[in-house]
Structures are given as structure tokens and as C-alpha cells.
Amino acid sequence: MSGNIAKLHENEEFDPETMLLVFTHIPKSGGTSFHAALKTLTDGKYCHLIPGQNDPDDIDALWGVGGHFDFESPAVNKSRKKRVYVSLLRHPIDRYLSFYKHVITRPDHHIAVANPEVLEMSPLEFAKTLLAVKNREIANLQCRMIAGGGAASSGDAIETIERHFSFCAPLTSQQQIVDQIANWFHSETVPVQRLNVAKAGVQVQFDDQLVGFLSQINAEDVKLFEFVERSSDPVG
């Protein structure tokens, strides 16, 4: 299915009749704010897709979709349009911190419901507990989602970016990317609003042991993030 992908560059044009923007939303990487910006840019013709819950009747009637699904997920590769892939990445340690805060401040989170003890765990204990039960969020999630097909190596993810993603940029480039998409759409850009930040007041102390452990289990994601960060032009 990867033959039905369009890789747009900076000065090219997005054609909503033949193209579908697909945002691969890495959890805890600024995606909620990005979804909101994309919905505004498309005048509502965008779906924050949760596969199996709000699948659109006709995905090809939309300008774009985004959600927590891997590259070339069945949720989007059924589209007859050419898919234009975009994504934002975050340093794995920062992403983990956000994920940890997200769970421990929400007793109704499915992880906390399954094991209420996680609400009182230290960041290191929390990480080790979820790793032991093979929770997907903990280790090299960004490589898996970008590469698709279950692959977890930075090499596979980088190859996928270079071949198929119109951009894959650090979270810090979020506004720049929204500006670029607006240019593709020939529309005025919109400011990115920081959303889903209610947990910002939670204080977490990092130490060398925690950083070392997270760096070890996310070694491939670290390589991927460093590759993307080194790129001076996040588009293409």
C-alpha cells in the first residue's frame, strides 16, 4: 500500500481532491494541540480518529485524519487518495515524563484501573513495572509507530521517514510545521495553542539511574530523535 503515498516538499501544493493528510500522533508529543490546529486549517474537514470508535463514513471526504496509529495502519490505508504523512517527535525522556504524569494524575486511566498501585510509584518503578508487562508505551514507541509493521529499529524508522514522510519534526518545530501545512493549503496559518497541560504542575525528580534506564530501553528512539533534530529542514 505504500505506493499510494505522496511526499510533498516545501513549495508544492496539497490537493484535497486527491490527497489525504495523515498525522501519525505519537502519544505525549504535542499532538492534541496539533489536532486542533489541523481542524482549524481544514475548516473542520479533519478527523481526530480513534479506530473502531469514530471511523468516518467516507474517509475520502476529509482533508485529513490523525491519531494514535502506526504508519500505514488499516485505519487509513483504505483511502483511495494519496496519503501525505506528517508527524512530530519528542525526546524519549521528556515523552516518558509526560506519560508518567498523565497516568499518575488520572485514577481512571486504563493502566491505573488495571493496577492502582502505579498511582503511588516512583518514575523508575513505574517504568520497570510497565516494561515487565510489555506495555507498548515504554520502549521505542516512536520507532514502532513511524516504521509501522512492528519494526522497532531506528534504521527502519529513518528509512520510512526519508521515503514516505512529508515531514517528521521535533515538537519544538510545531508552529513551523503548521505554517508549512497552511502554505500547502493556500490558507492563513493559525497559532498553535498549548492543550492538555493540566498535569504541568506535577513535579518529578530525575536522577542518573532513571535517565540511564530510560535511555537504555529507548536507545532506538533516542537515535531516531537525534536524527530528526539534526535535520535543518523538517519538511521532506
Q: How many CB atoms lie within 10 A of CB 81?
A: 20
Amino acid 233: pLDDT = 59
- Structural domain includes residue 11: yes
- Structural domain includes residue 196: yes
The grid coordinates listed for 202 are 506535577
Q: What is the residue range of 18's domain?
A: 2-230
Amino acid 198: pLDDT = 52
For the chain, what is the radius of gyration of the CA atoms? 18
Average pLDDT along the chain, 236 residues, taken 10 residues at a time: 79 93 94 92 94 90 95 90 96 94 94 95 96 93 92 92 94 92 92 69 80 96 95 59
Amino acid 129: pLDDT = 97
- Structural domain includes residue 236: no
- Structural domain includes residue 235: no
Amino acid 151: pLDDT = 75
- Structural domain includes residue 203: yes
CATH number of 38's domain:
3.40.50.300
Q: pTM for the complete prediction?
A: 0.92
**Count of domains observed in the chain:** 1
Q: Grid cell 508529543 — which residue?
A: 29
